[in-house]
Amino acid sequence: MSVRAVASGVAAVLVTASVGFGGTPAASAEPGVPRTVPSLKQWQPGGADFSLGTKARVLYTQDALRETATDFAASLQAATGNDIAAQPGSAGSAGDIVLTTGLVPDAPEMPEAYRISVADTMELRGADTAGAFYATRSALQLLRQRTVIPGGAVTDWPQYRERSLMLDVGREFMPVELLRAQIRRMGHLKLNLLHLHFSDTFGFRLDSDRHPEITAAQHYTKQDIRELVDYAARYQVEIVPEVDFPGHMNGILAAHPELKLRSANGRVSDAAIDIANPRAYDLMRDILEEFLPLFPGRYWHLGADEFLLDGAMVTSYDEYPQIGAYAKATYGPQAQPVDAFLGLINWGADIVRANGKRPRIWNDGLHTGAGTLTIGTDIVVDYWSRAGIPQLPLPFFGAARTPADLIAAGHEVRNAAFTPTYYVAGGPTAVGNVPAPIAYQLWDPALFVDGSRLSPAQNERNLGSGLFVWCDDPTVQTPEQIAVSITMPLRVMAQQTWGPPQAGSYHEFARRADAVGEPVL
């Protein structure tokens, strides 16, 4: 893909986006509303002010809230210098904070909703433990700006169920401590899904007992993963693992060259596995069955993107007659070559379901009218490109099924639009990185990469969006430099996925974001 082609596509989609916005200005926060990132849904002023006590207590009404209360007290002490202690209880004095759960008036019934009642004692009430945690994040952001808060009540909840960060650790290994720092940042911004792309061009980053030959020198041990999962849970972050099949398998296939996809003219792909070879399924099954139990979350991401993209070369099913023969032998004489790919998705999805999880894939291999098979409607589709493969890989145009079509077929989707949700470190596609002000002003999660916008009814099947960090050239930025570079894009995605009202102009949003800062602990 040329830099000029990508740049032209970015320009086209941003024009489309501004038109797609319909000329309707984003809602702005009312003057006087307490400043947080993301901004608050509702603020009703009135009543006594709250002044954080110099020796304040964070009282928690249930043992399930103890860890959240303890972390909140420690962060609050670090941010303000006041002496803050967490302890069980429900009856606070002036200057204390009470953390509890229960019905949140005037909010939808969802576990992440919360209410902050500001009086001489502050009450943080979550609909569930997740909401209670988010109440502490908003309270911390407010109290680090000033320790006296005007009386009133905050009612807040997310617009989208998934508010995510994806990190491409397959191409560029990121140390565990850096992942922990991003989890803390996610909790601070009320992001709830960490998608880790564990395998790609430069390595398979999980420590395999069944196939130690595929494990990269830089990798995560199983104990690393267990501790990371537990750490993420403290911040209400769920980890979604991805091991990409049947493309982007360089890190695995380097140890299994006999399984690489070969064309009729003898060209060998370093990235794609031969899905006509039964031994390929043995290897993929081994990987799935070894690592699925390691992750307790709801999802497993199967990848399924860019299968026939070999480096910068786009190939065609016609170049691999063994795939067409396999499809007909497996799925009947009417089967098309793409059915072998669709059948692989269903095969992997069955293994994922058997392990109590829900499968996810990328969208680009799903073409309008292609194949005789359908994939399971419970599969979540992360929608990044309208192009699909085999085609010239420009993500803004093409024959891939539309978001609306996938929703009509029964799928839930996540908006992973190449622009503006991608941050690419290095390589020609980095030119598509959209500046944070443009993403803030012209985009929201209902607007997809091809410029189409979901209707409100369709958008009920849109799980959300986030920031997708790809390390196409791992020599360009260190993990620490990437973490700095995504500071404002991640804040913007947190705002757009949590939902309106926005914090006025981008300049006002940036000032607000600087005021609430990064997590203190």
Quick check: pTM over 0.75? yes
> Within a 13 Å sphere around the CA of 90, how many CA atoms are in the beta-carbon half?
6
Task: State the pairing for strand pair 309-310/299-303.
Answer: unpaired
Per DSSP, which regions of 304-419 are E strands? 309-310, 313-314, 358-362, 380-383, 413-415
Q: Which of 67, 58, 61 is nearest to 86 (CA)?
A: 58
Q: Which domains does the chain have, with CATH numbers?
A: 43-156 (3.30.379.10), 160-516 (3.20.20.80)
Please give the pLDDT value at position 188: 98
Residue 311 has what pLDDT? 63
Q: Do 73 and 110 contact (CB within 8 A), yes or no?
A: no
Q: How far apart are CA 480 and CA 452, in angstroms?
A: 35
Q: Token pair 């880790």 is at which residue? A: 196
In the numeric block, which tokens belong to residue 514? 């600087």
- The CA distances from residue 479 to 31, 198, 289, in Å, are 38, 15, 30
Grouping H, G, I as helix, E, B as strand and the rest as coil, residue 311 is coil
pLDDT at 208: 98
CA distance 418 to 425: 13
CB 466 within 8 A of CB 191: yes
CA distances, 46 to each of 32, 49, 50, 235 (Å): 12, 8, 11, 31
Q: Which of 215, 214, 187 is nearest to 129 (CA)?
A: 187
Alpha carbon separation from 399 to 15, 134, 373, 391, 497 (Å, rounded): 21, 41, 17, 9, 28
Please, are residues 370 and 341 in contact by the beta-carbon 8 Å criterion? no
Q: Which residue bears the tokens 């420590």? A: 207
Residue 397 carries which DSSP code? Answer: S
Give the β-pairing of 122-126 and 42-45: unpaired
The Cα 270–Cα 292 span in angstroms is 25
Q: For residues 123-140, b (16+ Cβ closer than 10 Å) or e, as one string? A: bbbbbbbbbbbbbbbbbb
| Contact residues for 391 (Cβ-Cβ < 8 A; gap 6+) | 314, 398, 399
- Per-residue pLDDT of the chain (521 residues), as tens digits, is 333 344 444 544 454 444 333 333 344 445 578 999 999 999 999 999 999 999 999 999 999 999 999 999 999 999 999 999 999 999 999 999 999 999 999 999 999 999 999 999 999 999 999 999 999 999 999 999 999 999 999 999 999 999 999 999 999 999 999 999 999 999 999 999 999 999 999 999 999 999 999 999 999 999 999 999 999 999 999 999 999 999 999 999 999 999 999 999 999 999 999 999 999 999 999 999 999 999 999 999 999 999 988 666 668 899 999 999 999 999 999 999 999 999 999 999 999 999 999 999 999 999 999 999 999 999 999 999 998 755 555 899 899 999 999 999 999 999 999 999 999 999 999 999 999 999 999 999 999 999 999 999 999 999 999 999 999 999 999 999 999 999 999 999 999 999 988 878 999 999 999 999 999 99
The confidence score (pLDDT) of residue 20 equals 37
The one-letter code for the residue type at 262 is: R
Give the model's pLDDT for residue 309. Answer: 80
